[in-house]
């Protein structure tokens, strides 16, 4: 049995139904064969999301062999993020009313996933995700903040990746969950 930690986000202003949280919930309850998925739905806040992720990473039981964080984007593609920046800028408020411009984050080098981009892309294609657009810009919002925190928290341990998924207007969460579940199955076999 392969152990995976899967996170998604709850609703926010631009996504009253956030497919990332729905996918995480669904796959946590009905994981693909051979996978044990512990899922967590995170608050859409700059401070709360990293704290909730830390709780999930430190939960009792076997540690994850892979951590996949999900978020929603406006475009209709599946977009794996390969880079996370330390400095954020932006005036969009999170669900707690905090903007990226208000954060006092240290200036540090960018961090990158240790997972091979070719493997990620191939596994998404095998899972039926289309289109797939590799990205180095996680969006300067809570997704980027969480991804940076995730890569710092798992440094030297479990491989980690952030995947942006399409909005519900493009694809229903259940259909997305089938793709993400197949992607996870292919990815853990390829690692």
Q: What pLDDT was estimated at residue 104?
A: 86
Q: What pLDDT was estimated at residue 14?
A: 84
Contact status, residue 100 vs residue 86, Cβ threshold 8 Å: no
Task: Say whether 4 sits in a helix, a strand or coil.
Answer: strand
Q: What pLDDT was estimated at residue 87?
A: 85
Q: Where are the beta strands (DSSP E) in 21-122?
A: 35-42, 66-72, 79-81, 83-84, 111-112
Residues of the chain with confidence (pLDDT) below 50 = none
- Domain architecture of the chain: domains with CATH: 2-190 (3.40.630.20)
Q: What pLDDT was estimated at residue 62?
A: 93
Q: pTM higher than 0.85, yes or no?
A: yes
């Amino acid at each position: 049995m392969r152990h995976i930690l899967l996170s998604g986000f709850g609703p926010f202003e631009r996504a009253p139904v956030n497919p990332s949280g729905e996918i995480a919930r669904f796959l946590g309850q009905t994981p693909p064969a051979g996978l044990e998925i512990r899922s967590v739905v995170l608050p859409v806040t700059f401070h709360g999301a990293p704290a909730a992720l830390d709780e999930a990473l430190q939960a009792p039981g076997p540690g994850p062999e892979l951590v996949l964080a999900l978020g929603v984007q406006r475009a209709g593609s599946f977009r794996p993020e390969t880079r996370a920046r330390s400095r954020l800028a932006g005036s969009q408020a999170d669900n707690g009313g905090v903007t990226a411009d208000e954060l006092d984050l240290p200036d540090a080098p960018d961090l990158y996933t240790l997972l091979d981009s070719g493997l990620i892309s191939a596994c998404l294609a095998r899972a039926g995700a289309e289109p797939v657009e590799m990205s180095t810009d996680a969006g300067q919002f809570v997704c980027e903040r969480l991804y940076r925190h995730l890569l710092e928290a798992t440094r030297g341990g479990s491989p980690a990746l952030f995947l942006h998924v399409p909005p519900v207007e493009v694809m229903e969460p259940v259909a997305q969950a089938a793709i993400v579940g197949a992607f996870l199955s292919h990815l853990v076999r390829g690692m």
